[in-house]
Structure formats: C-alpha cells, structure tokens
Amino acid sequence: MKQSLMDIICCPLDKQELELDATETDGEEVLAGTLTCTECGETYPIEDGIPNLLPPDMRDAEA
C-alpha cells in the first residue's frame, strides 16, 4: 500500500480518518501494519502491502 493512499481512504464504518501504524515499509510502500480509525478505534490490518478494509464482521467470516 502506498503511503499516499492515506489521503483518500477512510474507515468503512463511519467514514472518518485512519491513522497508519507501519511495522514494515519499503520506501513509500507499507508492507505490514495497521490502520486505526480516529473516531471509532476499529483497526484494519495491512498484510503483504494490502489493506483489509472489510468491516470486522465480514473479516471474521472470511477466515
């Protein structure tokens, strides 16, 4: 995920801003970490450079 995406993505639940916590990066690319909603506090994982912005109930059904 490119860090520049932070300007356009938002929490799918309440459309508020997301805060990035990158644990692994490669230049501008975020390979692993989390996105946390500044309003509701829900967290969304970033794995292999792909943010999973599915709502929590849909993420659980995916596993």
Assign 62 a pLDDT band (cuts: 50, 70, 90): low
- Region for 22 from its dihedrals, namely left if φ exceeds 0, alpha if ψ lies in -120 to 50, beta otherwise: beta
Q: What percent of the chain has pLDDT over 90?
A: 86
SS3 at position 5: helix
| Predicted pLDDT of residue 55 | 84
8 A C-beta contact, residue 19 and residue 36 = yes
What's the pLDDT score for residue 57? 84
Q: Percent of the chain beyond pLDDT 70?
A: 94
pLDDT > 80? residue 61: no
